[in-house]
Amino acid sequence: MFNLNNLQRFLKYPLAILGMLFLLQFLGFYTFQAGALELETAVRVNLHESGRTIVHLPPLGRIKAPTHNSPLDLHFTLKNIHLEKIADMHDDKSALLSRLPLAMTNEIKTNMLKYFAFLLILSFCLGTGSAFLWCRHRVNKKEALSLGIVNVSVLSLLFLLTAFTYDAESFSRAEYEGMVEATPLVLQVLEQGHKLVEDLGEQFGDVVKGVTFLQQEIEASTGSSGEEGKTLSLLHVSDIHNNPAAFQLIRRVLDHYEVDLIVDTGDLVDFGTTLELNLLVEALESLSVPYIFVPGNHESPTVVGQLKSVRNVTVLEEGILQKKGLRIAAIADPSASYHTSVVADEEMLEASAKKLMDIVDNGKGVDVVAAHNPALFRFLRNNGNLLLGGHMHRSSVSMGDNYIEINAGSSGASGIRGLQNMQMEYNLVLVNFTLQGENAGWLPQTVDLLTVNQFPLHFNFERYFLE
């Protein structure tokens, strides 16, 4: 004989389990920190395929990997990156790189155990709470307790199945969605960038020799070689944005030109962190000529401070520096004083532009004026000033009525930004000076604009005669 009470008693348990799994979709969020990363994790039921780990990187997209066999998807969402925590890391490069991943992995594991414990408590509460849906007069405490225990048991089995079948190596078969689809190409592109620069060596050398011969012929016929033939060559780079291939190209230029010094007008890194700079220190110290660095908006006080301790690098934040007889006036980008890469507002740019003008006006003669953002030159496009800038990621040489303005573009092919549309364009500029007399200072004679496009491979060399 059909008994409604027995049917209700039988249905209570599967319905409590289904209710728990449904409500976990909306209640089971947990936020924690792992190192400098602030993450939010959640569990979702997935009955259509094997369990996946899904990493959300707003607004870049997400990464999905089939990591385990339970019907649960593990979601991790990057909520924030606390740059001040990264900035506090002052370890040497090898120690930092070896210890950081392990420390972060341990923090994630610890917090995931806390999260699972939280979900088990929540499942117990949902199970016991479901007993109220079936009662008419009063709750059967024994039955409510058993519903909670069943929920905890089922969820524990799912967690154990997830843990014992979890395979982190499945991320080698991950799917990429959104802007992060370019991620698998990054290492390949950087590797090709190194090879590209090496392959350009012979071609670049031939072009330089030919142009240099032409310059020598012109100087011989016009007698414009300067006092006693004294010359100086300045290599202008900018906006490297963590791309190590930029230093390969710089070294190739040093192989074929007699460069006296390098001026970098900022944005050596992307996020203003010590971790980024540690990856570039060796390349900076390996250069054979002095490296003058003017901070850009992607630098930070931490990066600027660390650069001051790098061998062969001179950081010029504000004032005038004389190197190899060349007097360089410069000012750091206002944003370099903060742990942010946001471009400074108009009021800050105006104040820095006036300060740079005062530096030049009171400097009793400067040969070069350098700044990251060309907006800082607004009061200096006059008096025969030679202006070196970056920030725009477009190389150019502008000869105004009474000034010369050079933008080095991006010597690092805009970093990760260049990968978004595969426009990997490396730019460098070489400025050649002659000495016009001890009191007259250095006079720019020619500007060589070098552009290398990676996709498709294209090499361009332009020489501007300034006289």
- pLDDT above 50: residue 90: no
- What value does the mean pLDDT take over residues 158-162? 92
**The pLDDT value given to residue 362:** 93
Q: Does residue 375 contact residue 265 with C-beta atoms inside 8 Å?
A: no
Stretch 275-300: mean pLDDT: 91
Residue 341's pLDDT is what?
A: 74
Q: What angle do CA 126, 130, 132 make, to 5 degrees?
A: 130
Residue whose tokens read 């390969």: 248
C-alpha 310/C-alpha 91 separation (Å) is: 14
Assign 224 a pLDDT band (cuts: 50, 70, 90). low
Q: What is the pLDDT of residues 403-454, one digit of tens each?
A: 999 999 999 887 766 555 556 788 999 999 999 876 678 999 999 998 887 6
Structure tokens belonging to residue 160: 């154990």
Q: Which residue has the higher pLDDT, 28 or 305?
A: 305
pLDDT at 93 over 50: no
Give the pLDDT score at 74: 92
Output the pLDDT for position 1. Answer: 46
CB 430 within 8 A of CB 259: yes
Burial of residue 223 (number of CB atoms within 10 Å: 0-12, 13-18, 19+): exposed
Domains located in the chain, CATH noted: 4-173 (no CATH), 182-465 (3.60.21.10)
Nearest to 313 by CA among 359, 270, 277: 277
Give the lowest-confidence range in 125-134, 289-298, 312-321: 125-134
What's the average model confidence in pLDDT over 298-315? 94
The least confident of 129-143, 178-192, 274-288 is 178-192
Between CA 399 and CA 382 the distance in angstroms is: 11
Mean pLDDT confidence for 225-232: 68
Q: Would you say the pTM of this structure is higher than 0.85?
A: no
Stated as kind and residue range, the H or E segment containing 433 is strand 425-435
Q: Of 330, 269, 333, nearest to 303 (Cα)?
A: 269
